[in-house]
């Protein structure tokens, strides 16, 4: 536990050194260890936050716990995924100001995607549904952001073997430069990269090939140790964070 706490403190310190304002969620008795990864409980758009509904039953209380903090912070809540809908924030990627991609898999379903689309009416021009692979099955931790991490206006880190052909081709047709993660760095979360500004990112240490490929594209890379807080739960720096304000990656702020 001490090692995990030290890693977490170092990660937060790194973000703050990069001029990222960090808001810490208070302890909440209704959630478990998975709440270490707050990305999944919500989606952020220009008008506020849409609360998710977790596909993993053990995480169902996390959006409610997050809502209490959002209210205290004065962050607008635009809506919530309800009923039979399931939608986790790790399955939602903004490709530009008016386009999102949503992964349809074991954590996010068609009903959840439809509700999200309704909540975003007038805010987006296109919702691209990316069908996710079965992979290791329903119990595996896999989101769209497990295989796709935008790091710039037209640049993204990807693990292509787990992207569908239509979705990968859609990214290329949009003119996106895809930085490929090698097979042996996917398991060490080389594809889970957090953009903190245009061409400026944070990633887990121990992925030298992916880092070199990013730097070859003139992306500024900062690394942290996450053997205790990231690898056991398959959650990298994007999972450990939930940005509360969204701007395009070419505007000077991460989204």
Residue 42 region by backbone torsions, left for phi larger than 0, else alpha for psi between -120 and 50, else beta: beta
Q: 50 in helix, strand or coil? A: strand
Task: Describe the strand order of the beta sheet including 148-152 as a list of residue ranges.
Answer: 148-152, 155-158, 177-180
Domain 31-146 has CATH 3.20.20.10: no
pLDDT digits (tens, 9 = 90+) for 115-171: 999 999 999 999 999 999 998 888 888 999 999 999 998 999 999 999 999 999 999
pLDDT band with cut points at 50, 70 and 90 for residue 253: very low
User: What is the reported pTM?
Assistant: 0.93
Element (H, E) at 113: helix 110-119
Q: Once rounded to an integer, what is the mean pLDDT over residues 92-112? A: 97
What are the domain boundaries of the chain?
A: 1-26+151-158+183-241, 31-146
């Amino acid at each position: 536990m001490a090692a995990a706490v030290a890693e977490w403190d170092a990660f937060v310190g790194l973000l703050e050194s990069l001029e990222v304002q960090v808001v810490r969620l208070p302890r909440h008795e209704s959630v478990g260890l998975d709440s270490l990864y707050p990305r999944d409980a919500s989606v952020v758009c220009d008008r506020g936050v849409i609360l998710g509904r977790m596909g993993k039953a053990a995480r169902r209380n996390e959006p409610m716990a997050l809502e209490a903090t959002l209210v205290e912070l004065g962050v607008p809540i635009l809506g919530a995924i309800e009923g039979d809908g399931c939608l986790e924030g790790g399955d939602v990627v903004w490709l530009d100001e008016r386009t999102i991609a949503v992964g349809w898999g074991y954590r996010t379903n068609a009903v959840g995607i439809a509700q999200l689309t309704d909540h975003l009416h007038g805010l987006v021009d296109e919702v691209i549904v990316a069908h996710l692979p079965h992979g290791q099955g329903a119990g595996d931790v896999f989101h769209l952001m497990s295989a796709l991490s935008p790091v710039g206006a037209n640049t993204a880190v990807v693990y292509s073997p787990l992207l569908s052909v239509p979705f990968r081709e859609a990214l290329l047709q949009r003119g996106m430069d895809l930085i490929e993660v090698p097979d042996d760095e996917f398991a060490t979360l080389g594809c889970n990269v957090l953009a903190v500004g245009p061409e400026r990112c944070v990633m887990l240490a121990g992925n030298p090939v992916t880092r070199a490929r990013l730097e070859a594209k003139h992306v500024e890379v900062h690394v942290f140790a996450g053997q205790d807080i990231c690898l056991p739960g398959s959650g990298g720096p994007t999972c450990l964070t939930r940005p509360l304000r969204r701007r395009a990656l070419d505007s000077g702020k991460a989204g």
